[in-house]
Structures are given as C-alpha cells and as structure tokens.
Amino acid sequence: MASTGSTKNPKKANLLDPHSIKHLLDESVSEVVTSRGYVEDVRLSNVRLLIGSIIIAIALLAQFYPKKFPENKDFLIGCIGLYIAFNGLLQFISYTKEKNAILFTYPPPGSFNSTGLVVSSKLPRFSDQYTLTIASADPKSISANKPVQFTKSVTKWFTKDGVLAEGLFWKDVERLIDDYNGEP
C-alpha cells in the first residue's frame, strides 16, 4: 500500500453491494481532498439539519398540541402546510445545490484561488463505472477552474476480496485534483 493510505485497517466493501462500494470510495475521496489542505464546508449540511429540526418541531407541535381534534383543526391545517413547505424547501436544496455532491470545501489556506471545491460522484445502478467530478464551488467566479472528471471501473481499485487498494485510488484522485488545479 502507498504511504498515503492507512495500512493498519484495510478498507473493505461488499463487492455485491454497489452502495457499499460507492460509500467507501466517497469516504476515501473526502480523505484525499482534505489531506490536500482543503477544509470541508459544512454550511449547507447545517442548513439542512436546521430545516430538518424545524420539520420535526412542527410535527411534534401538531402531535402534542393541548387541544383535541375538532378544536385544533385550524392549527393542524397550519402545521400540515408548514410541514409540506419546509419539506419542499429541503427537497429543493437537495435537488439544486447538492445534486451528487459528496463534499463541499473552502479554498485551501494561503492559495490564490478564492473558491472551494464541489466534489461529486456517480456509480450508476448495475454498472462498475465510477465517475468522480471536481468543480468550483462558485463556477461564476473569475478564479474558478474548469470542472474535471474521470470515469473508471471500480474493479481497478478493489481486490477480489473487496479490499480497497488505497494507494491506487489515492493516486487517481490526487491526479484529478492536480488536473483541476492545472498542476503537472
């Protein structure tokens, strides 16, 4: 294994479960990107958690409101409306902002780049082709680079026992980050 990967606990996935494979690869991508000096931007996750908490509070209010049903009909209708509205907002954020993103970052400290990264991945159903994309968090910024991506078979990174060859995978991800940054 390469020196960048951990040798004490090899990462293993169930090769018959594409979700397990994608989860393990996504987790490793996050490790590689953060090891290169990029700090994770969790603002969008925090907004989603806040909206989810509001949804739960609305549901609890509707459930445990002190008055019984016929008397609290208007209150329940209001709660249902708010519940639907906040769930719609949550879906809108997921659909427009997150898409297939697995990681949002700030720019590395001390860099001339003023935008972070959006790292996204795809592993289509019934396919072994893993696509990793790195793009700017603010594509309209003057310092934004063009998005880069690679598509490779997951069989290149896993042994027949399902152990991830971290060194090979890290090299591929690091090469993609270098391509994005315009480094040789």
Do 105 and 163 share a structural domain? yes
Residue 183, pLDDT score? 65
1 in a domain, yes or no?
A: no
Do 85 and 146 share a structural domain? no
130 in a domain, yes or no?
A: yes
Instruction: Say what the pTM is.
Output: 0.76
120 in a domain, yes or no?
A: yes
Residue that terminates a domain, selected from 66, 97, 128: 97
Do 146 and 88 share a structural domain? no
Residue that terminates a domain, selected from 97, 115, 134: 97
5 in a domain, yes or no?
A: no
Do 175 and 115 share a structural domain? yes
pLDDT in tens, 52-63: 999 999 999 988
* Position 46 pLDDT exceeds 50: yes
Contact 109, 37 (CB under 8 A): yes
Do 166 and 113 share a structural domain? yes
CA distance 120 to 115: 16
Do 115 and 162 share a structural domain? yes
Residue 8, pLDDT score? 64
Instruction: Report the number of distinct structural domains present in the chain.
Output: 2
Give me the domain span that covers residue 124. Answer: 18-41+100-181
Do 82 and 49 share a structural domain? yes
Do 49 and 34 share a structural domain? no
Do 35 and 111 share a structural domain? yes
Residue 131, pLDDT score? 92
Give the lowest-confidence range in 56-60, 89-93, 112-116: 112-116
Across the chain, what does the average pLDDT equal?
A: 84
Which residue do the tokens 């780049």 mark?
113
Q: What are phi and psi of 163, to 5 degrees?
A: -85, 130
2 in a domain, yes or no?
A: no
8 in a domain, yes or no?
A: no
Do 118 and 84 share a structural domain? no
Do 156 and 66 share a structural domain? no
61 in a domain, yes or no?
A: yes
70 in a domain, yes or no?
A: yes
